[in-house]
C-alpha cells in the first residue's frame, strides 16, 4: 500500500508478526516493492516484552543491528518501564553507546500516563522511568509523537522546543485529548499537526516524518487507502512538498 500510494518509505514496528522480526524477509519486501525501510521501532510495548528476548537491552541492541542491516538510519525506542530498574539505570548510557558505535540515531519517544487496573476514572500514573517526557533526561535524538502529546495533555509545540535540535523523528498523527492513544488522521483532532510541520519545514528539518495512523476501523481496503492517502497529502502539504 505504501508503494501504491507513493510513500517515500516505511517504519517497521517490531512486534508479534514474524515478518517484522525477520531482517531477511523485510529486506525482500523492501526490494520487491521498491519501498525502503527508513526506521525501526524497537519492541518496547507491553505486548512485545518477549519478542527477540526478555532482556530489554538485548531487544534494543538487536533493533539497532536490524537498522544497520536494512540501512535504516533511525531506531525508535520508548523510555524504560518503571520496573525495569537495571535497564533504566543504564539506559541513557546504552543509547549513547549504540549511537556512537553504529551511527544509528536512537530516538527516544515521548509517552503518556495510563490508568492503573481498578483505579478511578481520572486516575493516571506514569509507567515510565523517570517520566513520560524524555527531555527530563536529555538524549541526542528524540521522537515526537503527536498522538501521545494529545493523550498526555502536553503542548506539542513546547515539547518540540525543548527537544530542539535533538528532534530528529516525528510520529505524525492526531488525538482529541482523550487519555488514550488514538492515532487519528492528522487534522482530525486537536493537535497542532499543521503548525508543527510548517515550523519544521521553515527550520530546514532533516529528520523523518512517519505517519502513524490507526486504520483498524477501516473494514475495507479502499477505506484504508483513503485514510492513508489523506494523511500523506496532509503531511506533504504542510511540509511544503
- Mean pLDDT within 66-86: 96
Q: Are 134 and 142 in contact (CB under 8 A)?
A: yes
Alpha carbon 231 to chain centroid distance? 16
Asked if pLDDT for residue 153 goes beyond 80, the answer is yes
pLDDT band at 49 (very low <50, low <70, confident <90, very high): confident
pLDDT band at 47 (very low <50, low <70, confident <90, very high): confident
Check residue 229 and give its pLDDT: 98
Angstrom distance (rounded) from CA 206 to CA 199? 12
pLDDT band at 241 (very low <50, low <70, confident <90, very high): confident
Check residue 123 and give its pLDDT: 57
- Grid coordinates 529528520 are at which residue? 207
| pLDDT tens digits, one per residue of 107-140 | 999 999 876 555 556 656 789 999 999 999 999 9
Q: 7 in the Ramachandran plot: left (φ > 0), alpha (ψ -120 to 50) or beta?
A: beta
Angstrom distance (rounded) from CA 226 to CA 216? 13
Q: Is 58 exposed, middle or buried (0-12, 13-18, 19+ CB in 10 A)?
A: exposed
- Grid coordinates 475495507 are at which residue? 220
| pLDDT tens digits, one per residue of 198-226 | 999 999 999 999 999 999 989 899 999 99
- Mean pLDDT within 103-107: 98
In angstroms, the Cα distances linking 234 to 22, 86, 90, 105, 229 are: 32, 42, 39, 26, 9
Asked if pLDDT for residue 163 goes beyond 90, the answer is yes
Angstrom distance (rounded) from CA 54 to CA 77? 16
Angle (nearest 5°) at CA 38 between 237 and 43: 115
DSSP character for 154? -
Check residue 70 and give its pLDDT: 98
Alpha carbon 80 to chain centroid distance? 15
Asked if pLDDT for residue 64 goes beyond 90, the answer is yes
Angstrom distance (rounded) from CA 55 to CA 50? 8
Q: Are 143 and 108 in contact (CB under 8 A)?
A: yes
Alpha carbon 196 to chain centroid distance? 16
Angle (nearest 5°) at CA 202 between 196 and 207: 70
Q: Which of 205, 200, 149 is nearest to 173 (CA)?
A: 149
Amino acid at each position: 500500500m505504501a508503494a501504491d500510494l507513493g510513500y517515500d518509505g516505511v517504519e517497521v514496528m517490531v512486534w508479534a508478526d514474524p515478518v517484522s522480526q525477520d531482517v531477511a524477509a523485510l529486506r525482500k519486501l523492501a526490494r520487491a516493492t521498491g519501498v525502503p525501510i527508513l526506521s525501526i521501532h524497537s519492541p518496547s510495548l507491553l505486548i512485545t516484552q518477549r519478542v527477540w528476548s526478555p532482556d530489554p537491552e538485548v531487544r534494543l541492541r538487536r533493533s539497532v543491528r536490524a537498522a544497520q542491516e536494512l540501512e535504516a538510519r533511525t531506531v525508535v525506542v520508548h523510555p524504560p518501564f518503571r520496573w525495569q530498574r537495571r535497564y533504566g539505570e543504564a539506559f541513557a548510557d546504552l543509547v549513547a553507546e549504540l549511537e556512537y558505535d553504529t551511527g544509528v540515531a536512537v530516538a527516544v519517544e515521548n509517552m503518556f500516563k495510563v490508568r492503573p487496573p481498578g483505579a478511578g476514572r481520572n486516575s493516571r500514573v506514569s509507567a515510565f522511568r523517570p517520566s513520560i517526557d524524555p527531555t527530563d533526561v536529555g538524549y541526542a535524538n528524540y521522537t515526537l509523537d503527536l498522538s501521545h502529546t494529545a493523550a498526555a495533555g502536553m503542548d506539542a509545540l513546547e515539547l518540540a522546543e525543548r527537544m530542539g535540535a535533538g528532534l530528529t523523528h516525528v510520529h505524525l498523527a492526531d488525538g482529541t485529548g482523550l487519555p488514550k492513544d488514538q492515532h487519528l488522521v492528522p487534522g482530525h483532532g486537536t493537535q497542532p499537526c499543521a503548525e508543527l510541520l510548517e515550523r519544521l519545514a521553515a527550520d530546514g528539518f532533516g529528520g523523518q516524518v512517519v505517519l502513524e495512523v490507526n486504520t483498524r476501523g477501516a473494514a475495507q481496503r479502499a477505506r484504508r487507502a483513503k485514510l492513508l492517502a489523506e494523511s500523506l497529502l496532509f503531511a506533504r502539504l504542510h511540509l511544503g512538498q
